[in-house]
Structures are given as structure tokens and as C-alpha cells.
Structure 1
């Protein structure tokens, strides 16, 4: 074997030793799954009883003691049939999940593409409970068995990560997308309480600011869906205590707009003012558009007629109205509310930070979050109304089946 071959072999051995749980494929960082082996002893299991899991890519250099935790999103199941179906998929079982996940956007290890968090310890928490990591119950009719253990999954994963260095973090950021973005509202203060007082702890929700609104038929579709979800999966005891003690209807505290004012940990809200999931399932659910008048508009905002645009502008005004107290409070965190027809923008490299990402007041999402987290400058960016923003990446996916709510 010549010297060149020996050097190459040595390099490969070093890579295998130093990074056994990650590989680089076509410039993509793939990170391997870690199962929480002792979770079942605490009753922390997925819908089907399989163990919970996460993906960890270790930090290095100046970021060695900093931690970013990202809740995976993926909708909810609010009745037994939908939860039984979900338990047979990657949304309800680690047995069906990909064992490697691409880390991009806020999870990237590329200094150019993720300038503020690239060298942190970055963790993706896999989602398999169907209730934003918040339920605690079980269904067993003798034939079918389902575990609603999202709260225990959260606690089991955190215990495991605390042992791996989170307990001595200098900086920590809890984030998530969609149903995972909602989970950050539910667990933010608890996350703060688990870490040392001298740790700089903050939270970020991406596309998780679900509004308590009526649909175009004036039905409270999302509220009814969430109320069924809360009852089925035993979520209410795990909602923010100060919020539930203040409301005649404690279940409303599942909605971020009601819980936000009780969260004391610094918080950043990243959301589209025309969030396509809320547009398609909360504002115009299939049940409110039986004849499909909104079908073309849902797929392409340029196809919306004047009446539909007026309704969408009303949705935006409603979101900004409930966010106004947060916006006006100079000490209450950060915001980036753009006017793109999108859903989840932090894990996509094209929208987080790239050559041509969405901007508000010439600021990218990554720059806004970094400025806020490190207190470089106040960051509360609100975009003008559609169609003024020509930097948008309008990521409208095909509507899912009526029986599913999976962003």
C-alpha cells in the first residue's frame, strides 16, 4: 500500500471514529437516529409502543457547549381511527421512520448557510405521538392498543440529552416547525426550568402560531379539532398552568394566542401571515368548501379572486391583531411575519438562508433569529400584505386527504 492510500485510509478511519452517526451525501448532512432505550420503563413510547428517538449532531469549537433542539412537525390525530392509522406510519412509530435525517436550514453545519448555529449541538426530536409532545393517556379496548405519551416522550428525550451535555449548556434554543412549533409554546417554560439559571435559554416557533378562528362557514373547525385531540390524548393537565387557571375553558390554552402571554422565557415567532396549513385546514377546510370553489386558489394565490383575497387579508389582519400586544411589548421577544404562502421556513435551506431567501425589510429569517437570540438588535419584522413581497418562496403543497391533517 502506497503512502497516498495509507493517508486516505487513515482519514476514513478518523471520520468513522469522530462522526459515527453522520454521513455527508451530495453536500447534504445526514444524521443517524438515536433510540431512547430506557424510555419504555417510564411509559414513554410512540403510538404503537415503539421507543422514541432523536437525531444528534455534535457541536464543535465555540459552539461545543451550546444546544439547539428542534421538534419535528407532522399534524395530529384526534380520534381512534386516525390514531390507529397513524400508528402504522412514520408519524406514529419509530419502526417506520427513516433512520437518517437531513439536517439543513437551522440544523445545518455549514457556517455560510447557518451562520449563528452551525457549530452548536443540534438535535431533531422525532414526532410519533400525534399531540405535539403533550398527551398522557392510553387506549385499550382489548383489540386495539394506542399509547398517548407525548409528554413522557418529551421528558425521556430531555433526560437522555441532559446526560449528553445539555445540563451544562451555555446557550440553548428550543425550536420546532408546525405541530412541533406548537410544541415549543407548550414546553418553553419547562425547558427553561430544566436548565441552569446561568444558561441563556430562548424558544422559537416556526409555523406554530395556530389561530383560534372560525372558518369561512363560521364554524370553529380548528377549535373543535383541538378540543377532541385534548380530550382523547389527555393533554389538559400538561398545558401551561397559569393559562389554564385564568380561563373558564382551559382547553383554549392549547392555542398559542391564548398561552403566549403566560410564557416568561424569551420567545421568537416565525410565521407566514398566510400560513398555508391554516389556510387549507382552519380558514377553508374541505368541510366548508364542498363544491371546491377554493381549489385553484389553494394551489396558487395568483388564482384567487377578489373576494378570496379579501378573506385572506382578513386572516392576516386577525393574526396581527392577536400578536399586537406581543409586538408592542419591547421586552417580549422577536417576530418575523412574512407574506409568503408557506408553512415551515426554518428547516428549508432555501427559506432559512441561501442566495435568494425571503426577506422582510431586507433581513433574512436566519439574520432575524440570530439578531434576536444574541441581542444584537431588536427584531420584530412584519411584512406588507400580499402581493407586495417579491422575495417569497410560495411553498403551497397539494392539499392532503380530508381524513388526514398532516402538514
Structure 2
């Protein structure tokens, strides 16, 4: 049972300062939450109308003027029923959010994250179900659903600019899953909000969702994304570089957006992306007899025919990646052959002993080398099951 508002406020030990509510850490190592209460008056709210939230760890030393903004993932909701469910948890309401620890790309340990450890590190919580693209003014009384993801993103970025990001020397917009897609969709806008002299780039982890057919030959994910875009009023907040050329719902697919970007981008993805296998290739609607149930949970349980289907999915996934001649400047790609989803937020997959390796390079090193212009690379792994360093996980 959810705590009452009084109990929750007491537990979080909140203090109101300049329109913000900052929740103190629940335990050592957790990073405080900033409740952006001042944004509520502008309509920048979660699905249930609660204020946006981000976690902020200030930079220091050589990283004091560098900013890493990492957006949380968590899928999407395409209709009132799905979005209403999110109102009762942290996917749609900040009332259920708690302090959390930082790891991986936003970790604060120099050995574990040498290129970004002392930057201003921010994790933007995801509570809108549209990859921060929604903006519908009307709120239906019957559902009390607020489709305001774009306003949430704008409000948080404006707050960070006021906190010093407007003077950034280096900045990286990153995200995982739905947040990784958001990093692509908001990439050029983020670049334009920062000083022209700043080194600004974008990083997408497990956010390259492909416009692929499911096991029955239907366009399940295309229909799904069309419903998301229509419900949330996302069209006006998708990159105009894409929407000027094709239908807005197709501009929810990175393969149609990335070639139009102006800002340097790093794409990290598993060729056998666990979320996409479960929801693009073999969604429940296409697998009514649940013949893919075991395979989707554990790739080692897949039959030979299912493995053939997975290898074909990998081929289609690689074909959807931007070609060198159509890519934004300084595009780097790291595609491993793991059955995984989101690999930058956990230390064991980001940069640690035993982390996944492609061409003798770990993810954290590849991203750091790219950001600091030490190397721009296009690393694409051999087919499953060739990589023994893989850690199969499905995080977001």
C-alpha cells in the first residue's frame, strides 16, 4: 500500500528552497532528488500531475564546468489504460520516486569512470511515457492524465542551465532505453541551448529501436509508436529535420532521425537487444501460443529455428544503422552481440574487470575516447554466441 502524503513527506525529509523540493538521501551513497515544484505552474508535470524530478551530483575540480545529463528509461504508454497504470508507480508519478545511487556512466569513482566521474552528473527521472516528447494542454477529468513530457524536459534543462550548465565547457546528453531514444530526439535541441564554444555530444544506450516486423510479418512496433505519438501530441516536439521529410510517427525511429542530426552521437546497443526481441520481434500479440516465452527469457533456451530468426533480426538491425556517408559528424557505434538492454548504467557492463569487450575495448573506454576525440570508432561484434565477455541483462 502506498504511504500517505504526510508519511511520504516525513520519510523523505523535504525542504523547500527557491521553488525546489530536495529530498535527502535515504542511505549513504544515494544521490538526492530535486523535486521541481516551480515547474508545476507551467504544466510541466508527470502523468499524474506531480512535479518532475532529477538527481544531481555537483561537479568538482577539472569537471566543475562539465555536465552529463542522463535520462532514465522505462518504455512508453500508448493509451489511457496503460498510462493510468503508470500513475500508480514511479513510471508516471514522482510520489513514488526515491533517492538512488549513481553507477556506470554517472558513477563518481575515478577508477570506474575516469572520463566523467567529477562532472556535474544528473539523472533525469522518467514519468511521462513518451520519451519526453508529449505536450497536450487538455487534461481529461475522468483520467487526470497529463501528457507533458516535452515540458518536463524543457523545465529540467532550464533549471540546469540556471544552475551553471549555461556556462558548460563540455556537455553530454545521454540516456538508456526510452531515455536513449530521448537523447537522440533531443540531441540537436540540447546542442543549441548550450554555448557555441562548448563541446557538446549525445550518447544513446539501447535507444536505437528499429522499424522492424514481428514474427508474424506485421508492423507491431510501428503501430505502437504511432499510438504513442498521437496520444501524447508528440509530433511538434520531434526533430523537424525528420518530420519535414516524413510522417511524425516514423520520426520516433532513430534510423530516420540520426542521419539528419548535426550533433556528434555515440550509439551503444546490443545486436540482440533484449527489449526489442521481446517487444518488436516477438511481442505477446504476435506470440499468442507463447512459443517464444522461454527464448525471450534466456537466449540459450532458443531453438535452432528461433536462433535463425534472431540472426536475421541482427542483420536487419545492422542494416538500419546509419551509414558512414549519412551520419552526423564524429558518429561512433558500439554494437556487441549480447542479449542485453542498457549497458551504461551498471558498473559491471560499463567499465570493470570482465565487462563486455568488442575489438579489445570496453564500453566505458570507447565512449570516453570518443567524447574526448581520442578515437572515433565503428565497432560491430561478430554474431552470437561468439563473445564470451557478454553479460546478459535487461535493465532500463
Cα distance, 1:322 vs. partner?
A: 1.6
**Alignment length, in residue pairs?**
375
Deviations 1:336-395 (A, max 9, x none): 100000000000111001111000011000000001000102221111010000000011
User: Could you tell me whether the CA contact under 8 Å between 1:22 and 1:57 is conserved in 2?
Assistant: no
Q: 1:201: which partner in 2?
A: 200
Q: 2:213: which partner in 1?
A: 214
Larger radius of gyration: 1
User: Could you tell me whether the CA contact under 8 Å between 2:259 and 2:326 is conserved in 1?
Assistant: no
Task: Classify the secondary structure of the residue corresponding to 2:186.
Answer: helix
User: Could you tell me whether the CA contact under 8 Å between 2:36 and 2:52 is conserved in 1?
Assistant: yes
TM-score, length-scaled by structure 2: 0.91
Q: 1:65: which partner in 2?
A: 65
- Give distance in 2, aligned partners of 1:174 and 1:328: 21
User: Could you tell me whether the CA contact under 8 Å between 1:78 and 1:232 is conserved in 2?
Assistant: yes
User: Could you tell me whether the CA contact under 8 Å between 1:71 and 1:125 is conserved in 2?
Assistant: yes
- Give distance in 1, aligned partners of 2:161 and 2:372: 23
Q: 2:333: which partner in 1?
A: 335
Cα distance, 1:145 vs. partner?
A: 1.3
Alignment of 1:4-403 (within 5 A): 25=28, 29-98=29-98, 100-138=99-137, 140-247=139-246, 249-326=247-324, 331-396=329-394
Deviations 1:291-338 (A, max 9, x none): 121112112211111111111111111111121514885944111100
Deviations 1:35-74 (A, max 9, x none): 1121012110111111101000011111111000000101
Task: Classify the secondary structure of the residue corresponding to 2:313.
Answer: helix
Q: 2:19: which partner in 1?
A: none
User: Could you tell me whether the CA contact under 8 Å between 1:138 and 1:146 is conserved in 2?
Assistant: no
- Give distance in 2, aligned partners of 1:152 and 1:20: 22
- Give distance in 1, aligned partners of 2:327 and 2:138: 43
C-alpha distance 322-228 of structure 1, shift in aligned 2 (>3 A):
same
C-alpha distance 44-290 of structure 1, shift in aligned 2 (>3 A):
same
- Structure 2 segments unaligned to the other structure (5+ residues): 1-21
Cα distance, 1:140 vs. partner?
A: 3.7
Task: Classify the secondary structure of the residue corresponding to 1:146.
Answer: coil
Deviations 1:193-228 (A, max 9, x none): 000100000000000000001100011111111100
Cα distance, 1:289 vs. partner?
A: 1.2
- Structure 1 segments unaligned to the other structure (5+ residues): 1-18, 398-406
CA RMSD of aligned residues (A): 1.7
- Give distance in 1, aligned partners of 2:394 and 2:159: 36
C-alpha distance 218-294 of structure 1, shift in aligned 2 (>3 A):
same
Cα distance, 1:144 vs. partner?
A: 2.3
User: Could you tell me whether the CA contact under 8 Å between 1:139 and 1:145 is conserved in 2?
Assistant: no
Task: Classify the secondary structure of the residue corresponding to 1:268.
Answer: strand
- Give distance in 2, aligned partners of 1:39 and 1:331: 35
Cα distance, 1:396 vs. partner?
A: 4.8
Greater shift after overlay, 308-317 or 169-178? 308-317
- Give distance in 2, aligned partners of 1:30 and 1:152: 27
- Give distance in 1, aligned partners of 2:363 and 2:331: 15
Cα distance, 1:75 vs. partner?
A: 0.7
Q: 2:9: which partner in 1?
A: none
- Give distance in 2, aligned partners of 1:331 and 1:156: 29
TM-score, length-scaled by structure 1: 0.89
